[in-house]
Amino acid sequence: MKKIGIIGGGFTGTMTAVQLITKSSGSCEITIINERETFNKGVAYNPYSEKHILNVITGKMSAYPDKPDHFLDWVMSRSEFQDRDKTLIENSFLPRKLYGEYLTEIWADTIKTADSKGIDVNVIDSFVIDLDVNENSVSLLLENESNLIFDECIIATGNQIPRNPVVKNNEFYKSKNYYQNPWLIDSVKDLNNDLPVLLIGNGLTMVDTVIGLLEQGFKGEIFSISPNGFNILPHRHNGLKYTKLTDELSDNLSLFELVKLVNKHIKMVREYGVSAEPVIDSLRPHTQKIWKKFTDNEKELFMSRLRHLWGVARHRIPLHMHDKIQKLQIDGRLHINSGKIIDIIESDNFITVEFFNHHDHTMQKLKVSRIINCTGPETDLMNVEKSFLKNCLIKGILTQDKLKLGITADTETFQVINSEGKPHISLFTLGSNLKGELWESTAVNELRGQAEKLAERLKTAEHSHEVKNAESL
């Protein structure tokens, strides 16, 4: 019987197991290692607030690539939605907590399927702290000191907590008033209303944190700082599908040619009162292919010059959330800054943050009671302390892409590539670990397809494993 291990049971790990169980003929044992609290939900779908909502509409959040209405139908079958208009719900942004419940229900149904097929499924409430490979197997060391050996192992570790920005006094990051993990409720609780709070980062996590602070009754001012200080955009032009750009896409466009093409189309849509987002959205189905064709220099240029603009156009918030953020700015409760933090000094009663303001080119100081890091998941795994992924990079079992966006892997087979440039036959990865290979490898839209494709591949291998075992008898 083939033993498959999955490290991480967020959306990606859960849906890979679901797909494996659904496709399997029964001759395998599946073990998922993930702490109990976030199992099935991961970071995204285990939020501390009901007000943390999906950034994708209901109609596009099915967990299955071949059943586009699966989430919508699940939502509409619940009593609290039965008197609601289906088109309205299809186009709305629902709570991420609800999506977590959806995944837990999918898992409960899948366990019944596993039982009926005689597939053993184990969920271990622990953390993997080390990994080693042998010719045909992978061994794991868990935090609870147990050792596990698998014929095949899938790394589905997803989002890492944000990195600490480099400042003169890095010692500050040991302070109890610094919250590196913005996804835990502690980061927004028990605040001093007399002093402002500083959020580092101006993206979606900043918005969630502002919502969280207000929900916890915080009455003070909120400052945010990011290098570009872009204001987050709302979802406008609801569902507008722009197709003209893709008609002109060809396989070998350079980054320069692509930018020229995109700018041409943005100019065209603006004539009709439409902003850039539908043009950028129209590239989405082609992004991975385009990224793979870019040279290393083009990828580097994109990351240094265009990534932030891309992020703003791609990662938008629902209109009502955007209105809320704008109102907070108008009321003087939220101040969004473009700047670079130079130093952070903590004294007995407050924290002084010194930053260079990109807007007026001056050095400025802020006095705050707390700093919350909202810069988004770290991708350079060498920066993730106490991580088995870092150990694997040091041992040469794994490698990173040049831009340190993720793990190097074959995107057809999902096999990781070692320091000798060889794919490992038993070790796989998917999800945000493939960002360096695919750029867009973060949202449900991409991950559900990867989970299905990897399960299909392992099923085929399961068959050859059976044949190999039968031959050796």
Q: Which residues of the shown chain bind ligand FAD in the complex (CB under 6 A)?
A: 7-13, 33-35, 38, 42-44, 54-56, 127-128, 156-159, 183, 388, 431-432, 442-445, 447
Three-class secondary structure of residue 311 per DSSP: helix
User: Which residue lies nearer to ligand FAD by CB, 128 or 210?
Assistant: 128
Sheet holding 351-357, edge to edge: 178-179, 370-373, 197-200, 222-226, 334-346, 351-357, 362-368
Question: Closest distance between ligand FAD and the C-beta of residue 6, in Å?
Answer: 9
User: Which residue lies nearer to ligand FAD by CB, 42 or 165?
Assistant: 42
Question: Closest distance between ligand FAD and the C-beta of residue 354, in Å?
Answer: 29
Question: How many other C-beta atoms can be found within 10 angstroms of the C-beta atom of residue 65?
Answer: 19
Structure tokens at 251: 């396989």
User: Which residue lies nearer to ligand FAD by CB, 291 or 388?
Assistant: 388
User: Which residue lies nearer to ligand FAD by CB, 196 or 431?
Assistant: 431
Element (H, E) at 457: helix 444-472
Instruction: Decide: 61 and 55 in contact? Cβ < 8 Å.
Output: no
Structure tokens at 57: 């509409």
User: Which residue lies nearer to ligand FAD by CB, 123 or 255?
Assistant: 123
Question: Closest distance between ligand FAD and the C-beta of residue 81, in Å?
Answer: 18
Pairing label, strands 334-346, 351-357: antiparallel
What is the DSSP annotation of 135-158? SS-EEEEETTS-EEEESEEEE---
User: Which residue lies nearer to ligand FAD by CB, 157 or 415?
Assistant: 157
Question: How many other C-beta atoms can be found within 10 angstroms of the C-beta atom of residue 45?
Answer: 24
| Burial track 70-105 (b if 16+ CB lie within 10 A, e otherwise) | bbbebbeeeeebeeeeeeebbbbbbbbbbbbebbee
Residue with the closest Cβ to ligand FAD? 158
Distance CA(278)–CA(243), nearest Å, equals 9
Sheet holding 152-155, edge to edge: 120-124, 28-33, 2-7, 152-155, 423-429, 415-417
Question: Closest distance between ligand FAD and the C-beta of residue 129, in Å?
Answer: 7
User: Which residue lies nearer to ligand FAD by CB, 28 or 443?
Assistant: 443
Question: Closest distance between ligand FAD and the C-beta of residue 174, in Å?
Answer: 23
Question: Closest distance between ligand FAD and the C-beta of residue 212, in Å?
Answer: 11
Instruction: Decide: 142 and 132 in contact? Cβ < 8 Å.
Output: no
User: Which residue lies nearer to ligand FAD by CB, 31 or 432?
Assistant: 432
Question: Closest distance between ligand FAD and the C-beta of residue 301, in Å?
Answer: 25
User: Which residue lies nearer to ligand FAD by CB, 226 or 442?
Assistant: 442
Which are the contacts of 226, defined by CB distance < 8 A and separation ≥ 6?
A: 200, 201, 202, 203, 206, 337, 338, 339, 375
Q: Which of 119, 129, 137, 160 is nearest to 31 (CA)?
A: 119
Question: Closest distance between ligand FAD and the C-beta of residue 442, in Å?
Answer: 5
User: Which residue lies nearer to ligand FAD by CB, 255 or 407?
Assistant: 407
Which value, to the nearest 10 degrees, does the dihedral of the CA atoms of residues 393, 396, 397, 399 take? Answer: 60
Question: Closest distance between ligand FAD and the C-beta of residue 191, in Å?
Answer: 21
Question: Closest distance between ligand FAD and the C-beta of residue 219, in Å?
Answer: 25
